[in-house]
Structure 1
């Protein structure tokens, strides 16, 4: 039995890195570069376009990852965007699980994205027809500290991490962090940069591993890329070039182990992006590449966990017989499909991207129906909920409830549509 489990672990490592991870990495690089170039300008356009804010918020949330959605959260408390815009953004975002879907099922990603965009816009405008946003903002302002209290707390806070690599390396837009959605020294700055976990301290082992090991990590990803493409087209590149060992499998295991080490070093377990790090990535291309390596490692690790959980579940249900387990799972899915929509929406309530990545990973293994995938995509708020929780918990609670309801409703509609026509 030990040999069987070890084989499943190795196979899950290979699949996580070669089937998903390497493609996630280079898609992350692409969107990271776009975010570095355009994020500030797009946020400014949202602030100016009051009438179209829910539309623009949903579009920003639609971009893979959590960076765009994270930027929107503090803007509401500055009265720069409506609460409906916040909701539209959260409904549309799939967080880092979007990268998994892009790498494995691009057509499904396009369909989910278009549907999420429509639901996000509808929900956002519906929320703005109510007095909810104004009520939340009024209560938030009553709980705010006075300017004198904020000034004192800010003066006493540790600012050492804000002196950032731009003092040592070139390539930054500015010498210090340029805040997006708030100002230096205000209450949101205290919450997002001094109380919520942000950038790693420079003297820690984790910082040294991630900021010195990122080049080697990208090198492993680059070497593995042609082998992953070969696997995609069922072509053994190693055999074609005359190698007698399973080089693709070896790269898959090495890459996944490297990913786990990178994730542990970056101390990211449920969520992989903070507001502070998103600001840093918008400032520095080098920091974008470093943090994209961390983001890739985070996704690959959770995909590996999802793949391995699936393999062990099949083995366990089959009583040690993998084939029997697969047949039993297929039978169970036919009878419990509708409940998966409620389960998917419930998982979406969990802040952070880790559990959502596992759920999407199970979809890639045909363990959940498309309707459940869509319900989870609508319900989940990814890492964007974390700064909202830090700033104002009641608004985060309202956001969670509001995004979960359309997740269940539209998930059930899609499930009914699947049953009727497919």
Structure 2
């Protein structure tokens, strides 16, 4: 009996190694591309860029974000005062949505379901949030990321106030105020996979060194020479670390449905800071690598200039960005942001996507208040269309 208990974690790990685990598809494909001489150089370059230019910055940003969140979460005086004014509720919701990641938006959704926030707050948070795509944009283009976040914050506040004026604060609130969002982001620590702990250990050791090397690379310093390493060592090392991060993400959970592929993994209620950082960082990194590979392999195989081709459809691109933003989950939105960073789509399309996308917050909204989620999503797409096409006509 004892041996059966001890072997349980290894049985679960073996289950995740099985070929039916769809998360292993991308790591296996990458290993095959690394083994093939024709695609090895391209794959190493994509993996290294994703790790040093994105993952390292996302990890350090998430570490700061989660550290601050833990300290601020204990101050409940602000949340108690929100009950007195719907206008403050909308401002609070927009600020929570403007925070990178999906945690703030999910908090607002659950508070709406419990009757603590107005429907306008839901529209505000869904308009303001960029989800995990904000981390990618802040890592690659900090000034642009902050600009879009501020636009989302302002548009979210104005949209929320307008909706509350039209419908009132109790509009579409579920009757069951005791409904909880246990389905959203938290799981029991007993279900925590060994790979989740390994992810935390991985980033605990690499967080500071990778951030230092990433900053050195951003300043165009020769990191190989400065660290007295053979030429190309940092590139190979980055590719290796990126592949390990993807493997750990693949082993942490199987794909049972759409949400498992496109959203952050649920966090254990006992998860450490580094485990939380690692789970979100590796999720973002995996989608970024997939997007980068799609872009680079398409160009290599076909010679297709995506940016030039899409320029003929420039008037439709803001609409496309808004429509893709309606797809639940952060994965598709990371894909759009990756295309923007490669110059394939214009700023107007990125703006439309940033304002219309709801990140992972749409999953608990659909589960707990489906009618409110649908109407709020439609409402958030209207200012997204207005802002995207305003930017298109005035600046592009």
TM-score of the superposed pair, with normalisation by structure 1 = 0.78
2:361 maps to what in 1?
384
**Of residues 71, 77, 81 in structure 1, which corresponds to 2:117?**
81
Rounded to whole Å, the distance in 2 between the matches of 1:4 and 1:418 is 41
1:170-213 CA deviation, whole Å, 9 max, x = no partner? xxxxxxxxxxxx8xxx4x23xx32x5674266256xx1121244
Rounded to whole Å, the distance in 1 between the matches of 2:212 and 2:277 is 20
2:223 maps to what in 1?
237
Output aligned runs, 1:195-206, within 5 Å.
198-199=186-187, 202=190
**Of residues 322, 335, 347 in structure 2, which corresponds to 1:345?**
322
Rounded to whole Å, the distance in 2 between the matches of 1:356 and 1:133 is 30
Rounded to whole Å, the distance in 2 between the matches of 1:222 and 1:345 is 37
**Of residues 235, 258, 264 in structure 2, which corresponds to 1:272?**
264
1:176 maps to what in 2?
none
CA gap of 1:273–1:355, structure 2 versus 1, over 3 A, is same
Instruction: Verify: 1:219 aligned to 2:255, yes or no.
Output: no
**Of residues 381, 388, 391 in structure 2, which corresponds to 1:411?**
388
**Of residues 194, 197, 222 in structure 2, which corresponds to 1:208?**
194
Instruction: Verify: 1:32 aligned to 2:56, yes or no.
Output: no
2:102 maps to what in 1?
66
1:54-101 CA deviation, whole Å, 9 max, x = no partner? 112111111111111110112112221110011111111111111111
1:297 maps to what in 2?
282
1:293-352 CA deviation, whole Å, 9 max, x = no partner? 11111111111111111102222431xxxxxx3xx3342233212211111111111111
Rounded to whole Å, the distance in 1 between the matches of 2:239 and 2:83 is 46
1:20-57 CA deviation, whole Å, 9 max, x = no partner? 11011000000111111113535445345433211121
Output aligned runs, 1:256-271, within 5 Å.
256-267=242-253, 268-271=260-263
**Of residues 158, 164, 171 in structure 2, which corresponds to 1:122?**
158
Rounded to whole Å, the distance in 2 between the matches of 1:254 and 1:223 is 15
Q: Does 78-87 or 44-53 show the bigger shift?
A: 44-53
**Of residues 67, 75, 90 in structure 2, which corresponds to 1:54?**
90
Rounded to whole Å, the distance in 1 between the matches of 2:291 and 2:161 is 36
Rounded to whole Å, the distance in 2 between the matches of 1:88 and 1:341 is 20
Question: Does the CA contact (< 8 Å) of 1:352 and 1:381 recur in 2?
Answer: yes
Rounded to whole Å, the distance in 1 between the matches of 2:94 and 2:344 is 29
Q: CA RMSD in A?
A: 2.3
Rounded to whole Å, the distance in 2 between the matches of 1:346 and 1:374 is 12
Q: SS at 1:272's partner residue? A: coil
Q: Which runs of 4+ in 1 moved over 6 A?
A: none
CA gap of 1:67–1:203, structure 2 versus 1, over 3 A, is closer
Rounded to whole Å, the distance in 2 between the matches of 1:273 and 1:122 is 32
TM-score of the superposed pair, with normalisation by structure 2 = 0.83
Q: SS at 1:367's partner residue? A: coil
Offset of residue 250 of structure 1: 2.1
Offset of residue 410 of structure 1: 1.2
Instruction: Verify: 1:107 aligned to 2:143, yes or no.
Output: yes
Question: Does the CA contact (< 8 Å) of 2:117 and 2:169 recur in 1?
Answer: no
1:89-121 CA deviation, whole Å, 9 max, x = no partner? 111111111111111101101211121111111
CA gap of 1:45–1:36, structure 2 versus 1, over 3 A, is farther
What are the ranges of 5 or more consecutive residues in structure 1 without an aligned counterpart? 145-181, 319-324
Offset of residue 224 of structure 1: 2.6
